[in-house]
Amino acid sequence: MEGDSSPTAAVAGAASVDSVSDDFKSLSMENQNQNGDAVSQRREKLKLEQLKWDHSFVRELPGDPITDIIPREVLHACYTKVSPSAEVDNPQLVAWSDSVAELLDLDPRELERPDIPQIFSGASPLVGAMPYAQCYGGHQFGVWAGQLGDGRAITLGEVLNSRSQRWELQLKGAGKTPYGRYADGLAVLRSSIREFLCSEAMHNLGIPTTRALCLVTTGKYVTRDMFYDGNMKDEHGAIVCRVAQSFLRFGSYQIHAARDDFDLVRTLADYCIRHHFPHLENLRKSDSLSFTSGDGDDSVVDLTSNKYAAWAVEVAERTASLVANWQGIGFTHGVLNTDNMSVLGLTIDYGPFSFLDAFDPNYTPNTTDLPDRRYRFANQPDIGSWNVAQFVITLSTAGLIKENEATYAVERYGMKFMDNYQALMTKKLGLPKYNKQLISELLKNMAVDKVDYTNFFRLLSNVKSDPTVPEDKLLIPLKAVLLDIGKERRDAWTSWVKSYIQELSTRNISDEERKASMNSVNPKYILRNYLCQSAIDAAELGEFEEVRRLLRVMERPYDEQPGMEKYARLPPAWAYRPGVCMLSCSS
């Protein structure tokens, strides 16, 4: 498990996604769960004390017999029981999500209670909770890092709602755990605001993600070196209550395989399948899940005969769909280590993330990543494949899947990614079918002229599918994003728009219908870094309304929202200063 090693040459070879590399290493998928989670009006609204806790993770998996928080190796265990320990002094509620409260059947009015800041800072115990920190490992920047784990995130437990959905509640920044590697277990307000807002923004964009119930300040200061340059600074402490159906990661399995604890890998896999992939428990031959592997020997992969293989393929496909979504929306995660990859295909662990402003395939929002730009925007599809390869290597090493099954899972990542990318890019441009040459030329032009990614696609829906439009009028719908370009570049764009209109004219729908369809996948509002920073600056002065206003805008990213147009503007000059356009992992 050290470094980039692989137990099989076949899997290592499949880890390279050259076929997934076109069009800036490729993109996207249809939006899922668009503003989903509709709540029945008849559902009972609960008080905090009435939440229905289950605690399957603690009940069904082996735990650490030691309960102290001294940093140490935790062996033969999936978690350590530990209570929140962050010091607080008059904590305050910054913001909350009504829609996440509804997921839990929690009455949103409960978040108005005066004791909420005490409860969600961990200072007052939440009735029914059974807190613990999870053990996991992972590859960081391609190198095996050994045990990592929840160094400052403490799960309170799992809540079952009236639809039998399982939701895990977790406090991030709540204090020390054995996995903290001598860190303080705390989080600062700037990173907590970013995580809270982006969790909800991504959900409303239709991208699978962990969610955020609420954000509180601790009233204490936390010392951080933002740029790792020796300049320490006291910052406001904060805690986010994160919510997900599970926080299991690729690294949750890697750590046990690295220790040759293969029985625990199987136990944890059985747990995940039982609770989160139950449709894989009783597959039948009639399900027709047999495929020919692409490794050259025409071997057949029968997913109905091995639930772990079927699971590996589904994890790979969910990951591919997720990364395709990121590429389509212009999102760069920034820290795609294997411990930051969810087995449920969720966006998880928001550190130095960013949505693209000026289109740059080589952009990375992570200052730590600057030397090699491993996690740059264009490289995310390949990194997703590499991470999936590490996951299936883990399952193969533990004896749960065969070599051809592992290879097939990685192959499926590449195929699923391209399918989803092509489908989404076709919708983003309103085309009748996928046109590789047209899209490749567009992305090349956008990169040359550093065109704003989000605003370009939103404006593109205003182009009319009329081949008779005079040449000198073709770029008028795009003039707000084609800034400061000379004659040569105007000619290049005019040529592209001509080709685009010609392609549109073969589609038998009205411009109005196409515009509505394109606007349903091309948002007007994204969580730009400078918008986050403005909200952070105000919050650090004790003014939280901008955080709440920004949350409301991001709840409807595809709508026009009259009066909120300023949130769709191009970044101002100050947005490109260090600490805004790029960040470190410090939080």
84-93 burial, b for 16+ CB within 10 Å, e for fewer?
bebebeebbb
H/E run at residue 489: helix 487-504
Residues facing 242 on adjacent strands: 170, 212
d(CA 404, CA 297) in angstroms, rounded, equals 10
**CA-based nearest residue to 190, from 454, 547, 511, 440:** 547
Q: Which two tokens stand for residue 443?
A: 């992305």
Phi and psi angles of residue 218, each rounded to the nearest 5 degrees, phi first: -95, -15
Say which residue the tokens 């600056």 belong to. 537
* Dist CA 217 CA 219 (whole Å): 6
Q: Are 268 and 255 in contact (CB under 8 A)?
A: no
Residue 204 phi, psi dihedral angles, 5° rounding: -75, -15
In degrees, rounded to 5, the angle at the alpha carbon of residue 60 between the alpha carbons of residues 55 and 64 is 90
In this structure, the number of other CB atoms found within 10 A of the CB of residue 487 comes to: 7
- SS3 call for 469: coil
Burial class (CB in 10 A: 0-12, 13-18, 19+), 484: exposed
Q: Give catalytic status of residue 339 as yes or no.
A: yes
Tell me, what DSSP letter sits at residue 570? Answer: P
Closest to 141 (Cα-Cα) out of 370, 373, 337: 337
User: Which of 105, 339, 449, 452 is flagged as catalytic?
Assistant: 339
The two structure tokens encoding residue 259: 């220790």
- C-alpha 483/C-alpha 463 separation (Å) is 17
Q: Name the one residue in this structure whose structure tokens are 């883990």.
A: 394
Cβ-contact 358, 383 below 8 angstroms: no
| Residue labelled with tokens 């294997």 | 338
Mode of pairing for the β-strands spanning 143-147 and 137-140: antiparallel
Cβ–Cβ contacts within 10 Å for residue 435, how many? 18
Instruction: Yes or no: say if 131 and 71 are a contact pair by the CB < 8 Å rule.
Output: no
Q: Please give the angle made by the CA atoms of 511, 517 and 520, to the nearest 5 degrees.
A: 140
Q: Which residues participate in catalysis according to the annotation?
A: 339
